[in-house]
Amino acid sequence: MVIEDGKNRSGNPALEAHKIRISADDIKKTGINHLFTNGMFNDHDTAVYNQQTQQGFADGILNYNQQHGIVGDLLEDIQDHLTVNGLDIAREVATFGKADGAVDGIGFLGTGGSRQTGELISQMAAITNGNLFLGAHSQGTMMTQNGLDRYQDNISQAVQSNLNSRFIVEYDGAPVNHVIGENKVKEIYGGEGAIKQHTGKKNISNVFRSNVTPGDFVGSVLGYQGAGINNSENIGRAMLEGIKGIPRLFGFGDPSAHSYYPCTAGCGNEGFMPEKGNYYNPDAPDGTKQSPMTQYYKENFEVTRPDGTKEMTIDLGLLPDSIKKEEQTINIDEVKVKQ
């Protein structure tokens, strides 16, 4: 997809038949302000499904991260992962863990896909006057992170020039540590004080959320994160469970913890923000449009074994204490499953 007035025909002529052009006026008239970047190995239908479920079925633009074969996708993954995390990890080692913040200004080392993602985010931020909801899954989070870094000045200008704007970012199953994402979004706003001016709350989780399902290898091992939202608790155990779950990534065994992510930030066309620890559920019985993540896990990661017993295939004990306190047990057909 190309955002332009339709008169510009620069680029590879062979690709013209495959381009969909949309103008800035078209975007403004439709009110579209959701943008999503999918992960690796996604065909188009899977990418659309992930955009819909992870952005609360909002009308949006899919920044399709196309497949390049297993070798091509893995090479892109390595390049973007090193760009996002490599120098930051090296600095932490060099300073014995005493460095603050994250390494900035190296997004240009990312892949061409990251550059194009940044261009699209920058264009959308300008068109929507900074009122933009970004979603990304897996490899798409690295492309988004590098794109934000590379085009930070343009994006910041759009966000900071409109105090009524909300620039919301949700990462799901991200090989990007949540602290790196938090710092970048905080910089785009111009600090915590600016976040409060825009949203009424200065907490970073009001504008950035990185959601990791317990046992997700990509989010916990490659992203070095705990399970839950913006969580650094129980990282060692989370990584161990993630390693155990590698076969599930490739379709062997129980459902993969890297799939089936719900929306937890900027959901639906209205950009609804569930409370931290909840997910967007427009059909919630109490009318609040949100339900506990523990309920979502029960509905998507409970399996019935051949002997008829029901079992959770993820370890809810990995979740942050604040979420575990909300629901110490899950009632499955009157059977208490201890967390």
State residue 104's pLDDT score: 53
The whole-number average pLDDT for the span 201-213 is 96
What CA–CA distances, in Å, run from 205 to 19, 141, 186, 224, 338?
Answer: 36, 17, 10, 18, 29
Residue 118 belongs to some domain of the structure: yes
Q: Which residue has the higher pLDDT, 94 or 312?
A: 312
Q: Which of helix, strand or coil describes residue 332? A: strand
Residue 336 belongs to some domain of the structure: no
In terms of Cβ atoms closer than 10 Å to its own Cβ (0-12, 13-18, 19+), residue 123 is buried
The strand ranges marked E within the chain are 2-3, 21-22, 34-37, 61-63, 132-137, 167-172, 208-212, 228-229, 278-280, 290-292, 302-304, 310-312, 329-332, 335-338
Grade residue 22 by pLDDT with cuts at 50, 70 and 90. confident
Number of domains in the chain: 1
Residue 208 belongs to some domain of the structure: yes
Q: Which of helix, strand or coil describes residue 187? A: helix
Grade residue 155 by pLDDT with cuts at 50, 70 and 90. very high
Which pair of structure tokens corresponds to residue 93? 């080692």
Residue 265 belongs to some domain of the structure: yes
d(Cα 81, Cα 49) in Å, to the nearest integer?
25
Q: Which own/partner contact pairs does 231-240 have at CB distance under 8 Å and 24+ positions apart? A: 231/178, 231/319, 231/320, 232/178, 232/179, 233/320, 233/321, 234/318, 237/315, 237/318, 238/212, 238/214, 238/318
Residue 164 belongs to some domain of the structure: yes
| Percent of the residues in the chain that have a pLDDT greater than 70, as a whole number | 76
Residue 221 belongs to some domain of the structure: yes
Host domain of residue 84? 31-293
Residue 281 belongs to some domain of the structure: yes
The answer to whether residue 324 scores a pLDDT higher than 60 is no
State residue 41's pLDDT score: 81
Residue 157 belongs to some domain of the structure: yes
